[in-house]
Amino acid sequence: MGDNLISVNNVSVNFDYQENFISKKQKIHAVNNINIKIKKGSFFGLVGESGSGKTTLGRAILGANKISSGNVIFHDDERDYDLTNMNKQDLKEYRKKAQLIFQDPYAALSPRMTVRDIIAEPLEVMKITNSRQETDERVRDIAAKCRLNIEHLRRFPHAFSGGQRQRISIARALVSNPKFIVADESVAALDVSIQADILNLLKQLQSELNLTYLFISHDLSVVAHVCDVVAVMYLGHIVEMGPSRELFKNPKHSYTKALLSSIPSIDPEKRSEAIELKGEIPSALNPPPGCVFRTRCPNPGIDCKGGEITMGLTEVEPGHWVDQCCVL
């Protein structure tokens, strides 16, 4: 267990759903039987379309969503935290160690608080610092690390551009000195030149502060650039997982292949080689039995078309796991 920070074991998350008060209660299977290990110091990428369960899984790992079955273990230096079985005191400790960076830097910052107060709030709420002076010191320290101007701390968020706001959000997430960060679509709302800046900053902070990231994104080129390990999700399942370069160079699952071919190429001469997927992602209320991707799969086998093959990952190369339906 030595080099893993997070172990996710057979985790499923279901939500209750009732269309209106007289209709039957149904279950939404948002995340199904997920197993992942996140190594210390790694940049773990989670990709997939909207509705694939990326965010739900990220929130489950942070303890912000209830886990329906399975467990998540956070391996700290001295002890392990079991997220499914935690008392209030443990949860408070865990919150200091695992933090979230949001997608929209315009919605994530309170317009009525100064930047200093925004960054200091976690310290005050979690009672990490003992005096105002100590708080100020830590705020200034983390602001400098996130390349924010010290003079800017007295201003309000409206005075800042999208990129600067995202740096404020990052500073706020890092001020409690966490070990694990979930970055949920943290660069999706930014222009390309600013996106590059924030990605570089995240990388730099990772080595400076020994951080481990779970990086959730729908943008495969971004994930390919920053992540060491990538898991591809579809309708609540991981369909392929492996070292990022191996996975992008040598994708095995038809869904990963289709996703990769759908990225618009920057070369105008390479037009439209996309493997076009028909239709849209099915509803998580009644996912297709067997392989969840078979309703859109461009080349389904006879067995998987009938839904006779159950979902499950098989190791095809060391560390490269693919859902068995696409391996057969």
Q: Does 127 bind other proteins (CB under 8 A)?
A: no
- Residue from 265, 285, 298, 319 binding other proteins (CB under 8 A): 265
- Residue from 127, 268, 299, 302 binding other proteins (CB under 8 A): 268
- For the bound state, the minimum distance from the C-beta of residue 310 to other proteins, rounded and expressed in Å, comes to 24
The arrangement of strands across the sheet holding 313-317 comes to 98-101, 180-184, 212-217, 43-47, 229-234, 237-243, 320-323, 313-317
Q: In the complex with other proteins, which residue's Cβ is closer, 86 or 274?
A: 274
Q: In the complex with other proteins, which residue's Cβ is closer, 1 or 266?
A: 266
Binding mask 38-77 for other proteins (x = CB under 8 A): -----------xx---------------------------
Tell me the window of 11-19, 123-131, 146-154, 260-268 that interacts with other proteins (CB under 8 A).
Answer: 260-268
Q: 203: exposed, middle or buried (C-beta count within 10 Å: 0-12, 13-18, 19+)? A: middle
- For the bound state, the minimum distance from the C-beta of residue 71 to other proteins, rounded and expressed in Å, comes to 31
Sign of CA dihedral 207, 101, 217, 53: positive
Per DSSP, the three-state class of 41 is coil
- For the bound state, the minimum distance from the C-beta of residue 23 to other proteins, rounded and expressed in Å, comes to 17
The Cα-based distances of 228 to 216, 232, 233, 314 in angstroms read 13, 13, 16, 20
- Residue from 264, 288, 289, 312 binding other proteins (CB under 8 A): 264
Binding mask 1-30 for other proteins (x = CB under 8 A): ------------------------------
Q: Does 243 bind other proteins (CB under 8 A)?
A: no
Which spans in the chain are helix H?
Answer: 54-62, 88-97, 115-125, 132-145, 162-174, 192-209, 220-226, 244-249, 254-262, 302-305, 324-327
Q: Does 250 bind other proteins (CB under 8 A)?
A: no
CA angle 26, 30, 32 (to 5 degrees): 110
Q: Does 310 bind other proteins (CB under 8 A)?
A: no
- Residue from 262, 295, 314, 324 binding other proteins (CB under 8 A): 262
Please state, in angstroms and rounded to a whole number, the distance separating the CA atoms of residues 295 and 189.
31
Q: Does 210 bind other proteins (CB under 8 A)?
A: no
- For the bound state, the minimum distance from the C-beta of residue 245 to other proteins, rounded and expressed in Å, comes to 7
Nearest-CA neighbor of 235 among 123, 311, 318, 145?
A: 311
Q: Does 104 bind other proteins (CB under 8 A)?
A: no
User: For residue 290, is it left (φ>0), alpha (ψ between -120 and 50) or beta?
Assistant: left
Concatenating the DSSP letter of every residue in 311-328 gives: P-EEEEETTEEEEHHHH-
What residues line the site for other proteins (CB under 8 A)?
A: 49-50, 161-164, 191-197, 199-200, 218-222, 224-225, 245, 248, 258-269, 271-272, 274, 276-277, 280
